Amino acid sequence: MKAYQILPLTLLMNCCSVLSPVKDAAIYHVLEPLLPERPLTLATPSVAINRPSIPSYLNRQQLITRSGGRLMISSIDLWGEPIEAAISRVMASNLSRLTGSTCIQPVENFTAMDYAYLLDLRILRFDPDTANHMILEGTWQLQPVNGSVATRHYFRISTAIADGHHIQAARVSGMNQCLEQLARKITLRP
């Protein structure tokens, strides 16, 4: 073989190794309701769960850990859906399971304003502390669609994060526990 024939063949062989598939090492996490499923048969209360406001550092696909004023971003632990959508979905499910109502859903699931209340969540913190507790802190407001401005309620929920093989999965589990406790604190009566 001549030198001018070997060079393209060598380049072709190198390109094939560079273009070979790369294994995706990402682990996708989702929030899940922890309350047991039950038959949903009631039409009330009728509540739309607004997407919560969250700190901007949490508004990303990667799981974030805050520690001593520093943010640590996981390169392989990712959310399977936007965190705000996950929170409103899980809160709607938890509240439906507590009340038996078929009419508690994320606001974007309603095709018209056929709900009586809008649940507004403002999350100030949703991450672990230095003692390895998941902290969920913020305010909630159950605003009637027709009526005066409702009272805003402060909450701070803390739950221990279980030690385990995969720390991020344990943290997601802690987040699920916090959302369950928050659902139990929210009063769906006017």
Stated pTM of the model: 0.84
Q: Are 119 and 48 in contact (CB under 8 A)?
A: yes
Q: Which pLDDT score is estimated for 188? A: 75
b/e for 5-17, b at 16 or more Cβ within 10 A?
A: eeeeeeeeeeeee
Which sequence spans correspond to the domains of the chain?
Answer: 44-185
Rg of the chain over Cα atoms, rounded to whole angstroms, equals 23
End-to-end CA distance of the chain: 87
Tokens of 72: 């640590």
Spatial separation of the C-alpha atoms in residues 18 and 37, rounded to whole Å: 49
Cα angle value 77/82/83 (rounded, 5°): 75
CATH number for the domain running over 44-185: 3.40.50.10610
- Using alpha carbons, select from 55, 62, 59 the residue that is nearest to residue 80: 62
| pLDDT tens per residue across all 190 residues of the chain | 555 555 555 555 555 555 667 777 888 999 999 999 988 998 889 999 999 999 998 888 988 877 777 888 888 889 999 999 999 999 999 999 999 999 999 999 887 778 999 999 999 999 888 888 999 999 999 999 988 999 999 999 999 998 866 888 899 999 999 999 999 999 776 4
Position 129 scores a pLDDT of: 85
In angstroms, the CA 77 to CA 137 distance is: 23
CA distance 40 to 105: 12
CA 41/CA 102 separation, integer angstroms: 6
Nearest to 31 by CA among 139, 168, 129, 185: 168
The tokens of 134 are what? 């998941």
How many CB atoms sit inside 10 A of residue 116's CB? 18
